[in-house]
A and B are shown apart, each in its own frame.
Chain A
Amino acid sequence: MAVRFVQPVGAQPPNGAIVRDVREALMVSRNTNGKLVRRPLSPHLQVYKPQITTAMSILHRITGVALAAGSLLMVCWLVSAANSPEAYYGVRDFTVSWLGRLLMFGWTAALVYHLCNGLRHLAWDAGFGFEKGIYKTTGIVVLAATAVGTILIWLVVLLGGAG
């Protein structure tokens, strides 16, 4: 049986946008009724079963963006310490307020997660950990390490007189 891909001549994507890219032209096809449709792009998040690997992947990105925002706090701390004792104590008072504590806790958890999962990513980049099931195990290890690491840091903060 000869199968030939018939490119709709002069076809436009259903939303009316002009095809400017050959990759986009290939994404246009006909459904069984002969109607021109835009093919769905992968990944189709709505049809995938939620998995620990995908959830952790998106969490890596979310924590990364959150840490970028959190880096502002680190710069504030440095600038205040460079300016005057009054400015420094102002920032320090904020970090021990309930809002400061909440932000710092979120920042710590995001940092520990991004660090642990980042090491997992580096192992993948080096070619390790791709065996079936291993990536799930390492994912659970990362989540456990994040919980333990974050709790340990905050035990030191709250019990060690660091507060």
Chain B
Amino acid sequence: MADPKDIHIDIMRSELGRARGMGAAKSGVGHWWGQRVSAMALAPLTLWFIYSVLSLGSASHEAVLAWASNPLTLVLLLTLAGMTFYHMQLGLQTVIEDYVHDEGKRLLALLLVKGAAVLLAVTAIVSILKIGL
């Protein structure tokens, strides 16, 4: 048995790297938290959206406009749109990183998904504002 004084551990990570806490992938736990927090927001928002759509049923165009012009509806719809596409691109990022091994293809796929998510989110938000305001 070696003298305990002789036992030492070499840590290759620098003190700065440890303090930053970003890990080998250089993004830390940001993705993990983002996915969970948006999931927590989406659970009640989705239930509200299902309830709303069921209440609207096969509503007339005027009924939809009246529904969306309520300030509370407007706020919840905008939050739902933002959270949905934020959560969506985080989830699709995980899927792409798991299955697309070629670095170039992976980067391309990630850029396409993130770009599409931004475009869809902005489209949804502009539409909601146009309906509700």
Contact = CB atoms under 8 A, between A and B. Distances in A.
A78 B54 contact: no
A65 B95 CA distance: 9
Given A119-B43, A153-B50, A79 B58 contact: no
Given A75-B124, A81-B131, A82-B130, A160 B54 contact: yes
A25 interface: no
Contact of B127 (A78, A85, A119): A78
Contacts of A147: none
A157 B50 CA distance: 11
Interface stretch (B3-11, B13-21, B83-91): B83-91
Interface string A134-162: 00000000000000000001001100111
Interface of B: 36, 39-40, 42-43, 46-47, 50, 54, 56-58, 61, 64-65, 68, 81, 84-85, 88, 91-92, 95, 120, 123-124, 126-128, 130-131
Given A81-B61, A81-B127, A118-B42, 4 more contacts: A65-B95, A71-B88, A111-B50, A161-B58
B54 A79 contact: no
B95 A61 contact: yes
* Dominant SS among interface residues on chain B: helix
9 closest A-B pairs by CB: A162-B57, A82-B127, A78-B127, A82-B130, A85-B61, A88-B61, A64-B91, A68-B88, A79-B127
Nearest to A86: B61
Contacts, number: 77
Interface residues of A, number: 32
Contact of B91 (A68, A82, A96, A115): A68
A162 B88 contact: no
Contacts of A82: 126-128, 130-131
Interface of A: 61, 64-65, 67-68, 71-72, 74-75, 78-79, 81-82, 85, 88-89, 92, 96, 111, 115, 118-119, 121-122, 125, 153, 156-157, 160-163
